[in-house]
Structure 1
Amino acid sequence: MSKLSKKLSGEEITVAKNYGALTVLQALNYILPFLIIPFLERNLGLERFGLVMLAQYLMAFCIAFADFGFSTTATREISLIKEGKGDYSIIYFKVFWARMILLIAVFILLCVFVFAIPRFRVEWHIYLLSYGVVIGQTILADWFFQGIERMQLLTIINAVAKILFTVLLFVFISSPEDYSYVPLFNSIGFLVAGITMFTISLNYVSWQWPNFKDSKEFYKESFQIFISDISSQLTFAANGLVLGLFVGDSVVGIFSAFDRLMIAAKKMYLPFYQAMYPYMSRKNLLQKNKMMKKLIPSILAIGLVGLLGIVFLGGWVVDFLFKDPEIYNNVNLLQWMGLIAFFTGLTLLFTNLYAPSRKLFKDRMNVMVIGTIFNLALGFSIVPYLGLQGTVITAICTEFVMLLMAIYFYYKDLKQISKT
């Protein structure tokens, strides 16, 4: 290890440490769903399980609204301030106060949405109890610790919160009547992590009251990322929400079982991209392109392994994890969804690493928006007739369209660079 450290620069060692920390956190994100999702399906039944998963889809949408793209733009700004050894306080509180305003606005919109639609009003308390997840994630300041490249502490706190949530579930949930505990305990876990990390982050900054002067350009860039993230989360949440509107909670439960496995497959790329983002942001164009040429074949190989793993092991995994025969009877749909694991690696390479590091926020936004429009148009067209199969077709086709758009904008940028 010491010989390897001598070959790496100080920045590369920091990237390696952050990647290690994020990999540990991601390992928990892999392991815990394999414990939690089957446990909930067995103890709550498919219909109640589908309900709490539907609430989680909706909360993912709320999180993207409250974030407003700051997780990308602010991380980059903090990274540059770190390199120049400047003061983080101004940018930190520009983000913090904007997020507090958004947090209140999103809660009001959530209440209007839930109580205005009979389908959601019946179980209104599940959605409102779930909002603690949004509060915890909003005050977490993970973007700040990513920017200053101190991910180890964030990993520890997040791990403790996730384990706390898991323990509470296993202790208190034993029957379908306990379904209200799921959003409550999930919120407790996120709030513990958020409050703890927010308190620690204040050690790095000096307190400031709201001041939004000279922030037009920063908020403009954040808005472009916001549209991208809303589109991404809408794409993620729309599949479950549309299915729930036209079919019902039990079918949402089947899709959620498969979708959670796909989310785990997608997230295998994220620790590396998150660790590399501040590092790549500081590099010049030539260095960025050299890194991309090395990364593309590696990501392709990882995606192929993921696809083959889901195709050949998907049936065994579903049979091992879930008891409801309806889930296993649809396992062929999960195997087709393995294509998502293959497509998404390269798409995320552009949208989560290359484009933000190059400040190609508009191109990133276009990829997400086009994907969302396509997803909604296809979903509302075929899900009412094909149900679960229609949702799976929509998810696969959307990922493929987004990959094509990412490839287009990447090579478009390369051509523009070659002309300069």
Structure 2
Amino acid sequence: MIRDFMLRFFSNKVKDHDFLKVFTNASYLTISQGVSYLIPLITLSYVISLLGLEKFGRYSVILITATLLQVVTDYGFMFISPKEISIAGDNKQRVSEVYISTTILKSLFLLLIFVFYTIVCYLIIDEYDLLINFLLGYLIVISQSLYPTWFFQGIQKMKIIAGLSIIAKIINCLLVIFFLKISAEINILILSQAFPMFVVSFYANLIIIKKYIYLVKPSWTSIRTLFLEGSGLFLANISSAILTNSTIPILSIYATPTQLGAYAAIERIIKSIYTIFFPISQAIYPYNCKRFSYSLSDGITAVKKTGIPMVVFALITSVSIVITFYVMRNYIDIYIYQYVLVVIFLSLWLIVGVINNVLGIQFLCAYNCKDFYSKAFFVSSSLTIPFMFWFSSWIPAIGTSFAVLMGESLLGVILFIKIYNINKRVKLSD
């Protein structure tokens, strides 16, 4: 019976060529994401044993800094540019304009941020070796920012970019294993990560220039439009980065080391599982954008077609996390098992987070309501942080996870009301 249902489900989807392309792209991105997590796990103990905990701690801070700077350089291009390219379709002139305009803007961001970052580093870092480490860390930001995932996302051909990403990770692993043994320095780790990304970024952009675009001079209007379009989503990206990195520091004010460690372990596992949905979201977003460019009804149909399976998968995943935690209770540290409510709250957060992705990214952003989504995200994030302070002081760890769930749920309510009003307004006009 299950087999017949699956056959009927996928046979209906396969009739939609674009949907089949979405499924294929999501598969490639998921494999790439899996490799991206697997390789660091393979090299982790090796790196720590050679580098030592003190140097590894410094390297971790540099990586976190690079991640935050990358959010700034990405601006809103990870959503705006794929959307514009997807809507442009076979219009190579327009695709070329979007690619070149985005590349120019990203390059300007990289340059301006580097100047600011260098000044700050010189002002606050006294140790020369550490200063060099942080400045070299910006190479990671540059190499990642030049990697044109957004372009291949827009043309819905993720096989190339996923394959290059896997190659870069494998080269990174080999470089770390070989060179770190010769010289156990932070700079070796940074260069081993940045160099492969520079190589594949150059090759990916070369493919784009040779195969998919014309070398045209973009209009000032095109550059200005992309900049303004991305400004709204930039606020959401920054809010997300701050919120994601605030949980542990806030909890550390009120929790014991044991409570903090237990929460950190649970959060890391569940948030790592949550990242499985990132490549799926990346793959389906251009498809939904294209459908909304036809009509609202086409867009809603597309969001249902792509969003419902995503939410069902999130539900199954969350239930599986809770069941696994219960089954493994005899093998889990007693302090972690005491926080079963943390597991439940964060598992519910995962479900609500995926629902919000469908409502916010796949519907509102694809339907040109990105400014509302950005403001809603900012409001919910601004309220979540006070929630975390209050509930963490009341019940450390458990209260923190409840606050995170409350903030995500608040965002969901705001997004749902907006979508409900859009549908109501459209029905009245009909």
Once the two structures are TM-superposed, the CA of residue 257 in structure 1 deviates from its matched residue by 5.5
Of 94, 101, 126, the match for 2:101: 94
Q: Deviations over 1:312-342 (max 9, x none)?
A: 435999999x9xx899699755665333322
In 2, the alpha carbon distance for the partners of 1:302 and 1:288 equals 21
Cα distance change of structure 1 residues 38 and 352 upon mapping to structure 2, 3 Å threshold: farther
- Indicate conservation of the 8 Å contact 1:235/1:371, yes or no: no
1:310 aligns with 2:318: no
**Residue identity opposite 2:282 in structure 1:** Q
SS in 2 for 1:74: helix
1:8 counterpart (3, 10, 15): 15
1:299 to 302, 310, 315: 310
Alpha-carbon separation, structure 2, partners of 1:148 and 1:358: 18
Indicate the residue corresponding to 1:342 in structure 2: 351
Number of residue pairs the alignment of both structures matches: 416
Determine the structure 1 residue equivalent to 2:423: 414
Deviation sequence 1:68-101 (CA, Å, 0-9, x none)? 2112111111112224454422221111111111
**Whole-angstrom distance in 2 between the partners of 1:135 and 1:392:** 34
**Preserved CA contact (<8 Å) 1:69 1:222:** yes
Q: CA deviation at 1:295?
A: 4.8
The correspondence of residues 163-182 of structure 1 with structure 2, limited to 5 A, is 163-172=170-179, 178-182=185-189
One-letter amino acid of the structure 2 residue matched with residue 25 of structure 1: S
For residues 398 and 175 of structure 1, the distance between their equivalents in structure 2, rounded to whole angstroms, comes to 48
* Per-residue deviation, 1:303: 2.1
Query: Please, which runs of 5 or more residues in structure 1 have no aligned partner?
Result: none
Question: Take 1:228 and 1:317, find their aligned partners in 2: how far apart are those partners?
Answer: 37
Q: TM-score, normalised by structure 2?
A: 0.79
1-structure distance, mates of 2:280, 2:296: 20
* 1:54/1:6 CA distance change after superposition, 3 Å: closer
**Pair 1:135 & 2:139 matched:** no
Matched, 1:268 2:279: no
Give the secondary-structure state (helix, strand or coil) at the position aligned to 2:245.
helix
Instruction: Summarize the Cα distance change of 1:26–1:82 in structure 2 as closer, same or farther, 3 Å threshold.
Output: same
Partner of 1:358: 367
Aligned match for 1:80, one of 87, 92, 105: 87
3-state SS, counterpart of residue 111 of structure 1: helix
Contact preservation (8 Å) 1:300, 1:345? yes
Matched-pair contact (CA < 8 Å) for 1:232–1:372: yes
Name the amino acid aligned to 2:203: T
* 1:144-293 aligned within 5 A: 144-172=151-179, 178-203=185-210, 204-208=212-216, 211-213=219-221, 215-239=223-247, 258-283=266-291, 284-293=295-304
Whether the 8 Å contact between 1:70 and 1:143 is mirrored in structure 2 is yes
**Alignment map for 1:43-122 (pairs within 5 Å):** 49-84=56-91, 86-117=93-124
Structure 2 segments unaligned to the other structure (5+ residues): 1-6
Kindly indicate whether the alpha-carbon contact (under 8 Å) linking 1:74 and 1:91 is maintained by their aligned counterparts in 2: yes
- The range that moved more, 78-87 or 309-318, is 309-318
Q: Secondary structure at the match of 1:205?
A: coil
How far apart in 2 are the matches of 1:142 and 1:217?
21
Q: Deviations over 1:21-62 (max 9, x none)?
A: 223223324534543556656766666555433333322221
- Which secondary structure state, in structure 2, belongs to the residue aligned with residue 359 of structure 1? coil
Worse overlay, 269-278 or 3-12: 3-12
Call closer, same or farther: CA 1:16–1:386 in 2, change over 3 Å.
Answer: closer
How far does residue 110 in structure 1 lie from its aligned partner after superposition? 2.5
1:256-285 Cα distance to aligned partner (Å, 9 max, x none):
655543343222222332222222222221
Distance 1:131-1:239 versus aligned 2 partners, 3 A rule: farther
Counterpart-to-counterpart distance in 1, 2:126 and 2:346: 28
3-state DSSP of counterpart to 2:361:
helix
Give the letter for the 1:310 counterpart. Answer: I
**In 1, Cα distance between the equivalents of 2:260 and 2:120?**
19
Q: Deviations over 1:296-321 (max 9, x none)?
A: 5433432232223333435999999x
The alpha-carbon deviation at position 126 of structure 1 amounts to 4.2
2:380 match: 371
User: Does the Cα contact within 8 Å between 2:303 and 2:362 map onto a contact in 1?
Assistant: no
- Structure 1 residue 365, shift from structure 2 partner: 0.5
Query: C-alpha distance in 1, partners of 2:114/2:102?
Result: 18
User: In 2 relative to 1, CA 390–134 (structure 1 residues): closer, same or farther, beyond 3 Å?
Assistant: farther
- Partner letter of residue 344 of structure 1? G
TM-aligned CA distance change 1:20 to 1:302, over 3 Å:
closer
The code of the aligned residue for 2:275 comes to K
Contact 1:382 1:390 in 2 (8 A): yes
**Would the alpha carbon gap of residues 260 and 52 (structure 1) be closer, same or farther in structure 2, given more than 3 Å must change?**
farther
Q: State the alpha-carbon separation in 2 of the partners of residues 24 and 189 from structure 1.
A: 19
Q: Cα distance, 1:217 vs. partner? A: 3.5
Please tell me the root mean square deviation across aligned C-alpha atoms, in Å. Answer: 4.3
Q: Is the 8 A contact 1:132 1:190 kept in 2?
A: no
TM-score, with length taken from structure 1: 0.80
Q: Deviations over 1:383-419 (max 9, x none)?
A: 7998877765554444333333333333233233323
Per-residue displacement from partner, 1:227-257 (whole Å, max 9, x unpaired)? Answer: 222222222234456678999x999998765
The amino acid across from 2:72 in the alignment is F
